[in-house]
Structure 1
């Protein structure tokens, strides 16, 4: 299992480099390492791989040795004396190379099972990373809502001041207060959703659901695109698994051919003979030893022919499944790439809109200094600003979630 761990240390190093480009990425790395060590799904597949691998030792066996014993209730008389009892031993041996073929078949099945471990670890990295970015999105939105609540409180003070001098109405103040209540409600809902996502995250790490998860406070979309080598998809573990299953069927057919061959048996019979009384001659009472050779021929071997046909059909089935899965993975990769490009476009647009909204906000504040302000405009600009901030956070989260999918598919 050391090779598995070493391989995933390399994969996750690339994952971290790909996802987060500052020291805060170490937080995610530590969480993934903890998940890899404790997640029961990983443990399940590792134990399954060990169990299948252990079957190689089980395959290295021959049929049971047969022992037999019999006592002559009526002792048959022979020239040398009466036969009293008989002991026999017999050992059947499979055809040459059968045991090796059986071991090779089990080994090929173990190789296919190994890919399940690799796939499970990749999926775990993706799941932990995606949950981590969901938590980041939630925290970032809470922070934005808190800032907007403070901004609205500032506007409320301005409205109250204007109300005293007759430049605003009580309705304007109430509208600002209602807007604060609405945003406060959104924040409280996000807090509850954060707890639910935190539980899901902690369970991926197989630990108590109440443990606080610390996420990065700020993420930005990198200015440069990273090269994506789609050719790596061809060696994805989900596809390699089908290649190894195909080879295991080839090994199964070789084993089937060997098992359809004869079996050779060797044995020995021992018969105890008692001496004939009152007689003196050569071999009087001499025991009998009879070496034996036997052969087991599968004359009615329709089962082996049927197994050959089944193996051919199963190989065709595996090829069809592989092509179907390859099509699905290619679709997922293209979708993730396009979604990530879209998130970058959206991020740039929201950044531009947010800048313009802040400019509009500054204009409104300057108008207040000159003695005129429309608090309906204030609410409109605040709502737009909040919308752009939320969309910006969602774009960042989407970029990294899609990067997680891309990393799962091609790393």
Structure 2
């Protein structure tokens, strides 16, 4: 009994210490960190609280299982005292206490303790599931936040490109007008005309070149050729500006869509923390890749020894073992010890009166023994407990195999995400370099806008895919750590 009380006090003390420690951690963590929100969720989530109270309720079953049966007190009173030898019987008072066979109460407390431990493992599993949900939701929001930042950066790039296109569109017009006037006013040789036209850009260079041979034949042709080139350059330049504005409009729509998605995901995140949907969530600046240092052998070993589902099945098997022992003890006789007090009055009948005994109360010790004669019932109880224990052993093996399969599946997805991150990092770097080069070529007229926009789209696509791969990688890491019950 003392050992049971000590174990119970230790359990309560550990739970209290964990609660105080979690509150201290929640205060130390930055408010924009995942660890802070996990601690808030553990303290506030109704599902976790429900499992915590269920565990505390199971702890209260331990003293119930080890308690004695209530003593039986019986009172008898005679309305008309009965004449007996040595006096008149007025009434009886009896008290009886039954005691189970030696070791029965200990086995019952052991069973209740293992049942409470099993409920505690369910509480741990609820915490692990909550941590996984909070972490997954956190990385989803970080992914969307990173994609939002990528879209905003690409919008800024397109706006810079728009300014370049506008300057490119404006420059040829002034050049054409300045180069066309001298041709009209004087008979400049064709060599002079051709040497002056390269200073123009884009379509105006072509216009100046085409008008040069016609200068000696018709003085009005350079003017007409220059205007045609200017109009062609204006149409081409304006279409480039409009195409860039179309790309900007699409990215602006993506930005608005991402804002709406982030708002919805924050509402789901706050629901896990049992907070209002519009409560502000402080996300980090950018998504960071988590570290995963477990080898395959070490991970499987930790799963087998630390996973709450397996520990719950282990505790269940130990509870059935203790129940089988209790059923065996219950098949033995129970012993009852009691006392009966008889109230005796004096009698006037000389025949029944006894010298020195007339009217003297009587105390009678009593002992009773139960007779468990129906053995089939007790044998069936013990067989039932043994079968349940075998069932839990097979359930342990089956659950462990399922967890191993889940681990290998998650590990494969983790490796895929790692390869995807490396690929998208390389592609993003190459796309950024290509974009910088092709913008310079676009400015100098060596490349058209279609190539620039295509590379810009590839750059944005690789950035978005990289953010998604990082989020998937981190989600796989926390999923594996959930199997290992590792919250570091």
The question of 1:226 aligning with 2:293 is answered: yes
For residue 365 of structure 1, what is the aligned residue in structure 2?
439
- Residues 339-397 of structure 1: CA deviation (Å, up to 9, x unaligned): 22211211221122223322332333222232354222222222211111111111111
- Structure 1: unaligned runs, 5 residues or longer: 12-22
Contact 1:4–1:118 (8 Å) recurs in 2:
no
- 1:176 matched to 2:238: no
SS state at 1:52 partner: helix
Q: Say which is worse superposed, 139-148 or 50-59, in terms of deviation.
A: 50-59
Q: Following superposition of structure 1 onto structure 2, how do residues 227-246 of structure 1 map, counting pairs within 5 Å? A: 227-228=294-295, 229-230=298-299, 231-235=301-305, 236-246=307-317
Query: Is 2:119 the partner of 1:119?
Result: no
- Which residue of structure 2 aligns with residue 19 of structure 1? none
1:72 aligns with 2:78: yes
Moved more, 308-317 or 239-248: 308-317
Work out the CA distance in 2 between the residues paired with 1:364 and 1:92: 95
- Aligned-residue offset at 1:116: 2.0
Deviation string, structure 1 residues 142-194 (Cα, Å, up to 9, x no partner): 00111122222233334444555544265544433332222222222221221
Matched, 1:247 2:314: no
**Contact persistence 1:24–1:216 (CA under 8 A):** no
Q: 1:28-83: CA deviations, max 9, x gaps?
A: 22222222333333322222222211222222321221122223345433333332
Distance 1:24 1:379, change over 3 A: farther
Provide closer, same or farther for how the CA distance between residues 284 and 351 of structure 1 changes in structure 2, counting only shifts above 3 A. closer
Q: 1:161 to 1:88 in 2, by over 3 A?
A: same
- Change over 3 Å in CA distance of 1:389–1:25 after alignment to 2: farther
Cα distance change on mapping 1:54 and 1:152 into 2, 3 Å: same
CA 1:6–1:134: 2 relative to 1, 3 Å = farther
- Tell me how far apart the structure 1 counterparts of residues 21 and 294 of structure 2 sit (CA, whole Å): 18
- After TM superposition, the structure 1 = structure 2 runs for residues 3-402 of structure 1, keeping only pairs within 5 Å, are 3=14, 27-163=33-169, 165=172, 166-167=232-233, 168=236, 170-221=238-289, 226-228=293-295, 229-230=298-299, 231-235=301-305, 236-277=307-348, 279=350, 281-282=354-355, 283-402=357-476
Contact residue 442 and residue 452 of structure 2 kept, 8 A: no
Distance in 2 separating the partners of 1:351 and 1:35: 34
Paired residue secondary structure (1:346) = helix
Q: TM-score, with normalisation over the residues of structure 1?
A: 0.87
Number of residue pairs the alignment of both structures matches: 399
Q: Which runs of 4+ in 1 moved over 6 A?
A: 5-11, 23-26
Q: 1:65 to 1:173 in 2, by over 3 A?
A: same
Q: Distance in 2 between matches of 1:263 and 1:220?
A: 66
Query: After superposition, what is the alpha-carbon deviation per residue over 1:209-262, rounded to whole angstroms, capped at 9, x for unaligned?
Result: 32222222223547x873422221211222122111111110111111112221
- Taking a change above 3 Å as real, the CA distance of residues 295 and 225 of structure 1, as seen in their structure-2 partners, is closer
Shift in CA distance, 359/87, structure 1 to aligned 2, threshold 3 Å:
closer
- Radius of gyration: which is bigger? 2
Q: Which residue of 2 aligns with 1:17?
A: none
Secondary structure of 1:87's match? strand
> How far, CA to CA, are the matches of 2:362 and 2:53 in structure 1?
53
CA contact (8 A) 2:143 2:287 kept: no
Q: Tell me the SS of whatever aligns to 1:211.
A: coil
Unaligned runs of 5+ residues in structure 2 are 1-11, 23-28, 173-231
- Cα distance in 1 for partners of 2:76, 2:310 equals 59
- TM-score for both structures, normalised by structure 2: 0.74
Q: Is the contact made by 2:44 and 2:274 (CA closer than 8 Å) also made in structure 1?
A: yes
Q: CA RMSD in A?
A: 2.8
CA distance in 2, matches of 1:65, 1:49: 30
Q: CA deviation at 1:5?
A: 7.7
**Contact 1:80/1:284 (CA < 8 Å) preserved in 2?**
yes
CA contact 1:257–1:304 (8 Å) conserved in 2: yes
